């Protein structure tokens, strides 16, 4: 007997809800790319009528933007407001680093980055939309480093560059290997966080 198609799979949501459609879009977009998926295929994958799909979303672009809204919510949970006040600089940098690694850990996030790289040239708005989700948190980190500079904790003349460098220390051992080789084995998150914080403060502590 042939395996059920996505629309026949009993585990596939059939409620016609926005969540079911976005879940289906995530599976298809991350597997085949944004440009390789039609609205008809999205309706079939979600197990909804084409009319139901269009009642919820006017276009594929709207669906992808809803996916990115989810990403923003997840990132907000990983880096909640007030995290900058939870201890001294070592503790806060460790909390931020662990939040970033937890946010980036799901394979769906790596898949989203691959899709953005692959489809960004044809659909540059995708890159801009993802940047609009991530950049506010980078800006917030920059403001935190600027504050530490103003109170004499850090000697950090270029806070935005320093924020990017800190993320680079994390991503070089965790995110980028997974992006280019799905079977790569990342370093221990605890080790990555500890070494990133130590290297960062060795350069920037006042």
CA separation (Å) from 181 to 78, 107, 175, 177?
A: 25, 12, 10, 6
Is 180 part of a structural domain of the chain?
yes
Average pLDDT over residues 80-101: 95
User: Do 79 and 177 fall into the same domain?
Assistant: yes
User: Do 119 and 186 fall into the same domain?
Assistant: yes
pLDDT level of residue 8 (50, 70, 90 thresholds): very low
Predicted confidence at residue 17, as pLDDT, reads 79
Helix 60-78 with 107-119: angle, nearest 10 deg: 140
User: Do 50 and 76 fall into the same domain?
Assistant: no
Predicted confidence at residue 163, as pLDDT, reads 97
Q: What residue numbers bound the domain in which 46 lies?
A: 1-58
Is 132 part of a structural domain of the chain?
yes
Residue 169 pLDDT > 60? yes
Tell me the pLDDT of the chain averaged across its residues: 90
Predicted confidence at residue 184, as pLDDT, reads 73
Average pLDDT over residues 117-127: 95
Predicted confidence at residue 102, as pLDDT, reads 95
Structurally, the chain folds into a number of domains equal to: 2
């Amino acid at each position: 007997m042939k395996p059920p198609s996505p629309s026949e799979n009993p585990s596939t949501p059939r409620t016609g809800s926005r969540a079911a459609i976005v879940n289906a879009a995530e599976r298809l977009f991350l597997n085949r790319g944004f440009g390789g998926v039609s609205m008809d295929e999205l309706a079939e994958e979600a197990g909804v009528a084409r009319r139901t799909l269009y009642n919820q979303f006017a276009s594929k672009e709207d669906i992808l933007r809803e996916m990115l809204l989810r990403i923003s919510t997840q990132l907000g949970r990983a880096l909640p407001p007030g995290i900058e006040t939870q201890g001294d600089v070592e503790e806060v940098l460790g909390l931020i680093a662990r939040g970033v690694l937890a946010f980036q850990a799901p394979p769906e996030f790596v898949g989203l980055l691959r899709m953005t790289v692959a489809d960004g040239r044809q659909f540059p708005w995708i890159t801009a939309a993802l940047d609009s989700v991530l950049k506010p948190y980078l800006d917030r980190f920059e403001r935190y480093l600027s504050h530490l500079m103003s109170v004499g904790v850090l000697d950090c003349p270029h806070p935005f560059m320093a924020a990017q460098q800190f993320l680079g220390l994390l991503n070089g051992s965790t995110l980028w290997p997974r992006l280019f080789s799905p079977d790569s084995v990342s370093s221990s998150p605890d080790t990555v966080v500890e070494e990133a914080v130590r290297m960062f403060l060795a350069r920037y502590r006042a």
